[in-house]
Chain A
């Protein structure tokens, strides 16, 4: 849950980018780091393993202005996508306020998307959170690969696969060139702050 510091009048929200391995979670944060310089308040911290894969998490702190006189600080995290890092994913999810599920549009990754979403659902449940209630945005990444004649799933297919029950806002994206990254970020920040305001009774 968001950390509210009454003394310093600060609100800290945690947003986690979740998704299967190599779906583009880190690429999202890298693009945000490069593009939203005014909002970024510190270095992007990456804990990578060999082969440029996320080992623990990526971390990017941002400031997004004031709400009710409180400075709103957003902390963006990614989780390691590889299956073997299950316990790390769970640790990163602790006290999460908002989620971006980055799905890979490649046809060959269809099953991995579903497994990762299931894993997210399970991990949230273990923290007493519901995937149906937590602020959640779906991002269908790697749309640009269609131009290189690589088989990707249609948005309709992905909606049907992943979002039929969730009915979460979703965005097509190409994180490597930045398409959809900003929209996704803005949408999750908006949803998270709305949810926080509701909880606070503001």
Chain B
């Protein structure tokens, strides 16, 4: 084949390969053609051919770069997502099939839609734990670490999961965070015996308290007092000056780790702190000490 024919053939191949999306092959042919032209500059009259080929190679390079940089995953239209959800779940069991559908969405990188599906599946008790873990995985896959942590905290404050389940979920998420080198400590789930921080509005009317002494010779002894008045989460008790041991023990700022609060409706345990202490100087309770005790948790 003569040189011109060879160049023509290579350029034709290159054009077709490019049209077919075979960019490497097209580039290779253009470059081969370019080299032959350079070697036979004496016989090639069309001097603009080389620059035209160079432009085509540049365009191919741009296309290749664009393709390389295009994301491996992207959010697909609803129709595609529906095929993924329904056709990539194979279980005969309805719960598992729906779960597999949501997992398939996640595997195909359709995390937002997968999250929607998983959130709907949370109502199904049989699969709830697996669903929850997959919700964490979706957040992590989207690099929404804070969202995962917030989700955990929301579940902690709700009643969807038992304390045991929350413990497992915390362990699961904490483990992922650590593996990713993320310094974020998740709160431990509440256990039934664990007190909850209280606000003023949450406190019932308290009629009396039992304070358990935590140190000294009376350690472990519980002393009960009537509440003289209450303002929100602060209760006031009066202690006789004869209870010297107790008065010495109950200084301002002291935390009372074991307090029983008695209300007409219920008795509950909690923590409190002595917030004020003063001696009554006049009136029928003169000589008594007035103690303000702020309820910290119940």
Contact in complex: A51, B80 (CB < 8 Å)? no
A94 touching B88 in the complex, CB below 8 Å, given contacts A148-B16, A149-B9, A150-B16: yes
Q: Which residue of the partner chain A has the closest CB to B26?
A: A108
Q: Which of A75, A87, A108 interacts with B25 by CB under 8 Å?
A: A108
Residues of A within 8 A of B159 (CB): none
Contact in complex: B67, A50 (CB < 8 Å)? yes
Contact in complex: B88, A148 (CB < 8 Å)? no
Q: Which of A43, A50, A145 interacts with B70 by CB under 8 Å?
A: A50
Contact in complex: A56, B13 (CB < 8 Å)? no
| Interface stretch of the complex, out of B71-79, B173-181, B205-213, B221-229 | B71-79
B199 at the A interface (CB under 8 A): no
Residues of B within 8 A of A10 (CB): none
Contact in complex: A22, B66 (CB < 8 Å)? no
Residues of B within 8 A of A57 (CB): 83
Interface string of A146-162 (1 = CB under 8 A from B): 00111100000000000
- Among B73-105, those with CB < 8 Å from A are 74, 76, 79-80, 83-84, 87-88, 90, 104
CA distance A108 to B24 in the complex (A): 10
A91 at the B interface (CB under 8 A): yes
- Among A90-145, those with CB < 8 Å from B are 91, 94-95, 106, 108-109, 145
CA distance A40 to B83 in the complex (A): 16
B22 at the A interface (CB under 8 A): yes
A50 touching B25 in the complex, CB below 8 Å, given contacts A148-B16, A150-B16: no
CA distance A190 to B200 in the complex (A): 76
A84 at the B interface (CB under 8 A): yes
Contact in complex: B20, A22 (CB < 8 Å)? yes
CA distance A88 to B109 in the complex (A): 11
CA distance A158 to B70 in the complex (A): 33
Q: Which of A45, A53, A59, A106 interacts with B67 by CB under 8 Å?
A: A53
A55 at the B interface (CB under 8 A): yes
Q: Which of B9, B17, B76 interacts with A56 by CB under 8 Å?
A: B76
CA distance A57 to B76 in the complex (A): 12
Contact in complex: B21, A56 (CB < 8 Å)? no
CA distance A57 to B79 in the complex (A): 12
Contact in complex: B88, A43 (CB < 8 Å)? no
A52 at the B interface (CB under 8 A): yes
Q: Which of A51, A87, A88, A109 interacts with B66 by CB under 8 Å?
A: A51
Q: Which residue of the partner chain A has the closest CB to B72?
A: A84
B231 to A: closest C-beta gap in Å: 63
CA distance A91 to B83 in the complex (A): 13
Contact in complex: A150, B12 (CB < 8 Å)? yes
B161 at the A interface (CB under 8 A): no
A47 at the B interface (CB under 8 A): yes
Interface string of A19-53 (1 = CB under 8 A from B): 00110000000000000000000010111011111
Interface residues of B (CB under 8 A from A): 9, 12-13, 16-17, 20-22, 25, 28, 63, 66-67, 70, 72, 74, 76, 79-80, 83-84, 87-88, 90, 104, 107-108
- 9 A-B pairs closest in CB distance: A50-B70, A108-B25, A22-B21, A47-B80, A59-B83, A45-B83, A51-B67, A47-B76, A45-B79
- Chain A to chain B contacts (Cβ below 8 Å), 14 pairs: A45-B83, A46-B80, A47-B80, A49-B74, A50-B66, A53-B21, A55-B76, A84-B72, A87-B107, A91-B107, A106-B17, A106-B20, A108-B28, A145-B16
**A-B contact sample (13 more), CB < 8 A, given A52-B21, A148-B16:** A45-B79, A46-B80, A51-B66, A51-B70, A53-B21, A55-B74, A55-B76, A91-B88, A106-B17, A108-B28, A109-B22, A150-B13, A150-B16
